Amino acid sequence: MSLADRLVVDRRSAGAASAWLERRALSLAALGTAAVLVVVLYLPVGLVFVEALLEDGSPTLGHVAEVVTDPFYFGVLADVFAEPLAIGDHLGALVGWLGGISIAVTLASPVPGLDLPVPWLAVDLPPVRKGLFGFTAYQAALSTVASVAIGLPAAYILANYEFRGRRTLRSLTILPFVLPGIMVAVGFYAMFGRTGTLNTLLGAVGLGPFAFVETSPLAIVILAHAFYNAPLVARLTVSAWESVDARTVETARSLGASPRRAFRDVVVPQLVPAVLTGALLTFIFTFMTFPIVLALGGLQLATVEVWIYDRVQRLAYGEAASLAILETVLSLGLTYAYLRYESARAGLSQAPSPPPREALFPDVRTALSPRRLAILGYGLVALVLFVGPLASLVVGSFTDGSGFTLRNYAFLLERQLEGASFQTRPVPAIRNSLLFGLATLAVAVPMGVVISVLTVRAGRSGRLVDTLAMLPLAVSGVVFGIGLLQGLVFGIPLPGGWRFQVTGAVAIVAAHAVAAYPFVTRNVSPLLATLDPAMVESARALGASRTRALLDVELPLVASGIVAGAAFAFAVSIGEFSSTVILASGSEHYTMPVAVERYLGRRSGPAIAMGTLLLAVTAASFVVVDRVGGRYEL
């Protein structure tokens, strides 16, 4: 063979290899995703869940049955679960309850501190024992309503108006997402406490002080949940709004639809999936809320997760796992119901051509229009609710008993320069957080995309897989942590004295990716579902492999979803605490939230300074991430 011939053969076999790889890329990626999920999610969680279903080695439903028939957990429903067939009794109890309702017209003064009598329809419901699950669902539902109500106006403004700093503001909506629970609690007290920032400001104009936190602990907890989740709803909705095809609106208008009608019939249907996704995620997160309810509200507002934590502390895994399984079943059930709805709506569209943005305050006259004033009012609310706690936190990091101080930052600097090897230093924490964030991005984005691609057109079985893919969000954080500890840190014993262990940076990134990929999937799937399958089919008919069609046709069309999901993936990684602290234990792999927790001593100053650093680093990275990502969006 001549040299030239050999080169041709080589090139051909290289070409064949890459073609082989390209043909199978999707299957390989799916395999990789499955492997990560098995090792870092199914195995650890399964290890704990199985405790609920075993009693001395034999299968049982005893633990679960005990939980669902306990009135402490399920309130009045416990009786129904205990004797499901005694329908007559249950109906009798219901009728008795209905009979106890009384309605009366009275006068009430609903505004606290203002003696303004208003006719009021007093509905007196006999008390119902909600139980721990009932209360948990109740506060989650209220939190979801509040988060959507507060998040939607933000989305509307960010998507429809142009103003200085809009892009930066849009980037910064991620900030609450990464803040450790203790920082949110301290921030809320620093803002809304009796001697907090808000009362200080109001006092300057002769008002107050008001007992914002004391008046209704439930309301403050719901606001704290909205602090976390309204930005989530807003982000999801903004990215949907920006991919609305403005030409469809123009068509509707040219056919005689009023602006209101065009909005209702053309724009709203394209936003609903994003809003509902936000609501679903908010409900699931707040259903499994843990530190924040007790930090701000108190033990009366305890949720299921609080009891799971307690049972794990007592090493009562059977009960902890039963509670966790019920949480998961409920969350996945809701997810499935939502996905059915989402797929039923999937229509065909659309090359995104976002509607043009109006200037927010072009001139004084427009600025005084009712709509602009409403936006201004909302801005004020957002300023108090979102900027307030964050700013109060930053101020707190510069304050001690004597007023302004740099002591807390001096501590960070000193620790960085002189800290011993066994101590936590700020710079490695920052570096680790950023590296893990980038690595998470690189792993979670393909994972999420692969799951979207495989499930979007697979009908009912796809929906099932898609539902299961949400598992990371639907599993109790406490249980996930214990599973990681027992499964990956302690290791699985193998014959011959070997142990299978996964720890260190690899385990941390994998755990972060597992927590993060559902955000990618939920951002990408709805967009992928609306693509016209004919486009992929034409590409395939013209000889493109499935992978090539995905890369060249589908992904560019859903780029905005990928970018939105990637931003969340990065944020999830930066903010993750509970599994990081377990996997980083005894190593140099600590992150910023872990450092915050470790600096928390009898004085919170150093921890708050570290929290401020966390905020600054995250804010800077997101401005960068969104700028870079923004190039791919349009």
Instruction: Please give the residues from 417 up to 436 whose contact with another protein meets the rule CB under 8 A.
Output: 420, 422-424
CA neighbours closer than 13 Å in the CB half-sphere of residue 463: 14
Q: Does 72 bind another protein (CB under 8 A)?
A: yes
Written as six digits, the tokens of 260 are 């209101």
- In whole angstroms, the minimum distance from the beta carbon of 268 to another protein comes to 33
The residue among 191 and 279 lying less far from another protein, judged by its C-beta, is 191
Asked if 194 touches another protein (CB under 8 A), the answer is yes
- Burial classification of residue 461, based on how many CB atoms lie within 10 Å of its CB (0-12 exposed, 13-18 middle, 19 or more buried): exposed
Least distance from C-beta 193 to another protein, angstroms? 3
Q: Which of 291, 426, 437, 472 binds another protein (CB under 8 A)?
A: 291
Alpha-carbon span 210 to 589, nearest angstrom: 44
C-beta of 164 vs 499, nearer to another protein:
499
Task: Quote the least distance from Cβ 45 to another protein, whole Å.
Answer: 16
| Least Å from the CB of residue 249 to another protein | 31
Closest to another protein by CB, 175 vs 509, is 509
Q: Which of residues 563-602 bind another protein (CB under 8 A)?
A: 581-582, 585-586, 597-602
Question: Would you count residue 359 as binding another protein (CB under 8 A)?
Answer: no
Answer for which of 275, 320, 450, 592 binds another protein (CB under 8 A) is: 450
Q: How far apart are CA 511 and CA 501, in angstroms?
A: 14
- The answer to whether 250 contacts another protein (rule: CB under 8 A) is no
Please say which residue, 544 or 619, places its beta carbon nearer to another protein.
544
CA–CA dist 491, 438 (Å, integer): 27
Written in H, E and C, the secondary structure of 7-51 is HHHHHHHHHHHHHHHHHHHHHHHHHHHHHHHHHHHHHHHHHHHHH
Cα separations (Å) of 265 from 49, 153, 262, 346?
45, 19, 5, 15
Select from 22-30, 159-167, 346-354, 372-380 the region that touches another protein (CB under 8 A).
22-30
Which residue's CB is nearer to another protein, number 39 or number 384?
39
**Binding residues for another protein, how many (CB under 8 A)?**
101
Q: Is 355 in the site for another protein (CB under 8 A)?
A: no
The CA distance from 310 to 362, in Å, is 56
Sole window of 104-112, 313-321, 337-345, 354-362 interacting with another protein (rule: CB under 8 A) = 313-321
Q: Is 555 exposed, middle or buried (0-12, 13-18, 19+ CB in 10 A)?
A: middle
| Choice between 250 and 310, CB closer to another protein | 310
The contact mask relative to another protein for 393-412 (x = CB under 8 A, - = no) is -------xxx----x---x-
For residue 245, the 8-state DSSP code is B
Residues 146-175 close enough to bind another protein by CB under 8 A: none
Site for another protein in 451-490 (CB under 8 A): 481, 485-486, 490
Give CA–CA dist 159/557, Å, rounded.
19
CA neighbours closer than 13 Å in the CB half-sphere of residue 408: 27
Could you say whether residue 509 binds another protein (CB under 8 A)? Answer: yes
Which of 117, 298, 377, 533 touches another protein (CB under 8 A)? Answer: 298
Question: Which CB sits closer to another protein, 354 or 446?
Answer: 446
Q: Residue 237 corresponds to which tokens in the numbers above?
A: 């909705």
Tell which positions 525-564 bind another protein, by CB under 8 A: 551
- Whole-angstrom distance, CA of residue 67 vs CA of residue 346: 39
**Any contact of residue 189 with another protein (CB under 8 A)?**
yes
User: 37 or 267, CB closer to another protein?
Assistant: 37
For residue 396, the one-letter residue type is: G
- To the nearest whole angstrom, how small is the minimum distance from the Cβ of residue 510 to another protein? 5
Which range touches another protein (CB under 8 A), out of 84-92, 103-111, 223-231, 296-304?
296-304
Q: Are 293 and 301 in contact (CB under 8 A)?
A: yes
DSSP state letter for 78: H
Interface pick for another protein out of 333, 500, 532, 535 (rule CB under 8 A): 500
The Cα 131–Cα 304 span in angstroms is 10
Our finding on whether 36 is near another protein (CB under 8 A) is yes
Q: How far apart are CA 321 and CA 131, in angstroms?
A: 18
Q: Which two tokens stand for residue 358?
A: 């109006």
Can residue 443 be called a binding residue for another protein (CB under 8 A)?
yes
> SS3 for 413?
helix
Shortest distance in whole angstroms from residue 32 CB to another protein: 3
Other beta carbons less than 10 A from residue 534's beta carbon? 10
Q: How far apart are CA 342 and CA 338, in angstroms?
A: 6
14 vs 348, which CB is nearer to another protein?
14
Per CB under 8 A, the list member of 603, 620, 628, 634 interacting with another protein is: 603
| Binding of another protein by 493 (CB under 8 A) | yes
Rule CB under 8 A: say whether 610 interacts with another protein. Answer: no
Pick the closer one to another protein by CB: 233 or 527.
Answer: 527
Q: How far is the CB of 462 from another protein (least distance, A)?
A: 20
**What does the alpha-carbon distance between residue 236 and residue 523 come to, in Å, rounded to a whole number?**
7
Distance in angstroms (rounded) separating the CA atoms of residues 88 and 79: 12
Q: In this structure, are residues 141 and 128 in contact, taking their beta carbons and an 8 Å threshold?
A: no
Question: What's 255-318 look like in SS3?
Answer: CCCCHHHHHHHHHHHHHHHHHHHHHHHHHHHHHCCCHHHHHHHCHHHCCHHHHHHHHHHCCCHH
Q: Which stretch binds another protein (CB under 8 A): 34-42, 258-266, 468-476, 526-534?
A: 34-42
